[in-house]
Structure 1
């Protein structure tokens, strides 16, 4: 299975949901950005939101995988009426890593939807991303937080499958890292999405697109058992819901290293 198989917009519904919530936060901005760099493609979900909101803004979309870039462009072609209405071509794309230099810098905004979990070295990543922004440039990012896949992790641990202790970042750590590596006054909040699966095929598709299965740290020799345990649980309907904890972060490029504060928001519990 390769990412190029996912040319349907429906395969990217998780990314669409998060992009919608990130887009809501842009209503607070008074001045539209002239340039935006998107770090990590998401089936054209973020591009469509940003182009609709900022039709005159120059956008550059970057991803390490050409197949994901191709998938986004293919999905966009299925939405010709949207692009024709805006009289806009699909934004420029480039295949490169998130840590490579970008000659077009500085940008007014850096946007990243569910791509942070792909990088192990977040301090270096945040420092680099800050260097791509102009003074007062804005970061809007989302990532998966500490309670992501908690039901899966509990189930696998009950079968004595050893996992990475903390595979996903904590919300508070996200704010601290941003404040320490190039950003000022980060605002960090979180929400939870509950997923249910009728077919295990859909679950594995989501794991593939999110790129998070390997973060659980399951040894090669335990992989067959782990997948069987999950497949059986989904087929037998004993795994009713699966949680994704989503962290949202907004910060401004820091021009002075003092006076940095962090704001955390905790959602109300939903029953």
Structure 2
């Protein structure tokens, strides 16, 4: 099980990527969020409060879907910049004269208090975190006991075609490696979550040109590998890249369109009731003690 920072993510590059401002969500992120949101129909718990981690990049349309699914719940919008949070809040704002405005749950641009939300939503975020264990710890603190986490991220088979092109050209890797879903499950358990459910799917997108493919990839992320090209590359390198993509990725059955694979990982986990360790000397945090006292002894109604 991973216990240190991912070896193929440069923390400074990850911080720069996380700090970039954007006003729109990538199409792929919206599609993944739509598929993940559809799974909520099987979850009976109706949260009184929920948190959306990085909704602008994760999916503004999804933010609307979630706000509509839980119209009276308070939502904590967690973004790196206040203006980014306001973009998400304004995306679901109702006109002041409508009755729905007065029934809608509050949208707060702030970190949720500890143990305050029953659902935490993080779409297409975890694979670009330089310290995913620390991020999971934040999510665990924010969730109330019996609350649940919903997240998605890219998996190891993502952009295998692009990696093959770079290897054939003798170039450094085009991006950081992605974590396997079983390792994510192990990390969730280590962070204090229970009953993690992980699954994945692969989708294949096709593009008419290499330029369009590269535009999509640039919206989705950046090369966070510490061994990436150390300097800027020029127009000649870009032309070589587009020619290599057109030559090696063209699908004869797809009329010459360029195909790219994306592995999508979905995760769901619960925050269980804290357990006391029966050591000779045991210690428990005040927050965990409060949670246990509020819930009462096992079997209590």
**TM-score scaled by structure 1?**
0.76
Q: Is the 8 A contact 2:161 2:261 kept in 1?
A: yes
Partner of 1:137: 147
Work out which of the residue numbers 224, 242, 251 in structure 2 matches 1:231: 242
In structure 2, how many angstroms separate the alpha carbons of the residues matched to 1:138 and 1:102?
A: 14
In structure 2, how many angstroms separate the alpha carbons of the residues matched to 1:205 and 1:85?
A: 41
Q: Is the 8 A contact 2:112 2:142 kept in 1?
A: yes
In structure 2, how many angstroms separate the alpha carbons of the residues matched to 1:242 and 1:179?
A: 32
Q: Is the 8 A contact 1:151 1:243 kept in 2?
A: yes
In structure 2, how many angstroms separate the alpha carbons of the residues matched to 1:158 and 1:110?
A: 41
In structure 2, how many angstroms separate the alpha carbons of the residues matched to 1:211 and 1:67?
A: 20
Question: Is there any run of 5+ residues in structure 2 with no aligned partner, and where?
Answer: 1-19, 251-257, 277-301
Partner of 2:132: 122
Partner of 1:255: 273
Partner of 2:157: 147
In structure 2, how many angstroms separate the alpha carbons of the residues matched to 1:212 and 1:58?
A: 33
Task: Using the TM superposition, give the Cα deviation of residue 210 of structure 1 relative to its aligned residue in structure 2, in angstroms.
Answer: 2.1
Q: Please give the root-mean-square deviation of Cα atoms over the aligned residues, in Å.
A: 3.3
Partner of 2:43: 29
**TM-score scaled by structure 2?**
0.69
- Taking a change above 3 Å as real, the CA distance of residues 43 and 163 of structure 1, as seen in their structure-2 partners, is same
Work out which of the residue numbers 57, 66, 69 in structure 2 matches 1:50: 66
SS at 1:15's partner residue? Answer: helix
Task: Using the TM superposition, give the Cα deviation of residue 209 of structure 1 relative to its aligned residue in structure 2, in angstroms.
Answer: 3.0
Partner of 2:117: 107
In structure 2, how many angstroms separate the alpha carbons of the residues matched to 1:208 and 1:69?
A: 22
Question: Is there any run of 5+ residues in structure 1 with no aligned partner, and where?
Answer: 96-100, 259-271
Task: Using the TM superposition, give the Cα deviation of residue 205 of structure 1 relative to its aligned residue in structure 2, in angstroms.
Answer: 3.6
Work out which of the residue numbers 131, 141, 158 in structure 1 matches 2:168: 158
In structure 1, how many angstroms separate the alpha carbons of the residues matched to 2:244 and 2:99?
A: 46
> In the alignment, is residue 40 of structure 1 matched against residue 54 of structure 2?
yes
Task: Using the TM superposition, give the Cα deviation of residue 236 of structure 1 relative to its aligned residue in structure 2, in angstroms.
Answer: 5.8
Q: Is the 8 A contact 1:144 1:247 kept in 2?
A: yes
Deviates more, 1:138-147 or 1:60-69: 60-69
**Structure (1 or 2) with the larger CA radius of gyration:** 2
Q: Is the 8 A contact 1:43 1:71 kept in 2?
A: no
In structure 2, how many angstroms separate the alpha carbons of the residues matched to 1:179 and 1:33?
A: 22
Task: Using the TM superposition, give the Cα deviation of residue 238 of structure 1 relative to its aligned residue in structure 2, in angstroms.
Answer: 3.6
In structure 2, how many angstroms separate the alpha carbons of the residues matched to 1:110 and 1:133?
A: 7
CA displacement 1:56-96 (0-9 Å, x = unmatched):
1111221225565465467668xx79xx795477963537x
Q: Is the 8 A contact 1:164 1:216 kept in 2?
A: no
Count of aligned positions: 244
Q: Is the 8 A contact 1:38 1:112 kept in 2?
A: yes
> In the alignment, is residue 92 of structure 1 matched against residue 92 of structure 2?
no
SS at 2:243's partner residue? Answer: helix
In structure 1, how many angstroms separate the alpha carbons of the residues matched to 2:31 and 2:187?
A: 25
